[in-house]
Amino acid sequence: MHPLAERIQNKDERALARAISYVENDHPEKLDLLKDIHAMQKKAHYVGLTGSPGAGKSSLVNRLITYLRSLNLTVGVVAVDPTSPFSGGAILGDRVRMSEHFTDPDVFIRSMGTRGSLGGLARTTKETVRLMDAFGFDVILIETVGVGQSELDIMKIADSIAVVLNPGSGDVVQVFKAGIMEIADLFIVNKADLPGVPKLLSEIDSMLDLVKHDAPYRPPVVQTISVQNKGLEEVWGELISHRAYLEESGEGHERRARSLKQEVIEVVHYELMRTLLLKEEKGGFQWVADVQDGSLDPYTAAEEILERWNKNQDGKE
Ligand SMILES: Nc1nc2c(ncn2[C@@H]2O[C@H](COP(=O)(O)OP(=O)(O)OP(=O)(O)O)[C@@H](O)[C@H]2O)c(=O)[nH]1
Ligand SMILES: [Mg+2]
């Protein structure tokens, strides 16, 4: 067994932190490590929180941690922030917001920066969740900003997906357009102290009628005022109910199966691209100039790259 895997099994938080760095930095031993921790996963409840910038996701996560700790549950948190390339504002904000938990050994918080491409970020995030699961947290909270494709990809690892909306923000239309409505399992109307709550509730309701009218599970809507600790018990109650639904209906099993398939494809995709492009780079990317000056079209160039790759593979056998 990889020494880090063994240390993670023995609940060494420093080993967990180190392992996450392996994942982020694409360390040569990364895949070996992930292989070893796979069987150690304990199937924590993965909860995704998504929503527009400033919707109050981090505040909610912070208060939820306190609430979950009061129930004696251990918590891992992954905050994904692809928008701040220099790991400035938001992540720093999260650090401050969640700092009260830093001395609690049963809480582990990690912000994922912008290392690698966005596709890489989605994968890194999922692998981090897997590592935290192997460590043995009861609940893993995954916070992502925004509603882009990459966030959607990340969210697909979650068992339960909560979408955070604010009154008076016009978020619902955005959420609807981005296809978030379909994947949401719970709506959290945060900042319920602000005006416009009834309007937002009725907007969510009509959207749900449209999108989920014949769905077996209609996502509930919960109101919270995270800065006043209001509504957290209801949020957790709904997440527990959703998890029970996942188990009873078999959908949880289906989701995890789909997610595993996707993870395999992502690893292959990434490793293949990495080795292939490394090879091309060694060859000096000779096609670049030809494509740029118009003497070679992009499609022939791509075809030639693939042919070279195939020949190369044949040669190895
Ligand atoms: N009035 C009110 N303000 C809130 C509430 N919850 C959060 N806020 C405020 O909203 C602001 C943004 O909160 P964050 O928790 O950083 O929001 P976020 O969604 O994590 O933001 P990003 O990670 O930057 O996308 C902060 O100033 C919070 O104090 C609430 O229930 N009511
Ligand atoms: Mg945040």
- For residue 259, is it within any domain? no
On whether the CB atoms of residues 54 and 167 are closer than 8 A, the answer is: no
> Which residue lies with its CA nearest to atom 17 of ligand 1?
56
**How is the chain split among helix, strand and coil, in percent rounded to 5?**
60, 15, 30
> Average pLDDT, stretch 24-30?
89
In this structure, are 218 and 306 located in the same domain? no
- Sign of the Cα torsion 67, 71, 72, 74 reads negative
In this structure, are 177 and 229 located in the same domain? yes
Residue 145 forms beta bridges with which residues?
51
User: Which residue from 62, 227, 234, 235 has its CB within 8 A of the most atoms of ligand 1, so it is best to mutate?
Assistant: 227
User: Which residue from 49, 50, 58, 59 has its CB within 8 A of the most atoms of ligand 1, so it is best to mutate?
Assistant: 59
- Encode pLDDT of 282-308 as tens digits: 888 889 999 999 999 999 999 999 999
- Sign of the Cα torsion 31, 36, 38, 43 reads negative
In this structure, are 99 and 169 located in the same domain? yes
In this structure, are 73 and 198 located in the same domain? yes
- For residue 258, is it within any domain? no
- Encode pLDDT of 212-245 as tens digits: 888 889 999 999 999 999 999 999 999 999 999 9
In this structure, are 154 and 199 located in the same domain? yes
Closest CA to 47 of 284, 213, 242: 242
In which domain, by residue range, is 293 found? 264-316
> Average pLDDT, stretch 64-80?
95
Whether 193 lines ligand 1, by a CB cut-off of 6 Å, is yes
Determine the straight-line distance between the first and last CA of the chain, rounded to whole angstroms: 30
Distance CA 2, CA 124 (A): 19
> Which residue lies with its CA nearest to atom 13 of ligand 1?
56
- The two tokens of residue 167 are 């009154």
Point out the ligand 1 atom lying closest to the alpha carbon of residue 52.
25
Distance CA 307, CA 12 (A): 47
In this structure, are 224 and 302 located in the same domain? no
> Average pLDDT, stretch 275-279?
87
Is the pLDDT assigned to residue 88 strictly greater than 70? Answer: no
What are the phi and psi torsion angles at 36 (to 5°)? -70, -35
Structurally, the chain folds into a number of domains equal to: 3
pLDDT at 20: 93
> Average pLDDT, stretch 175-184?
81
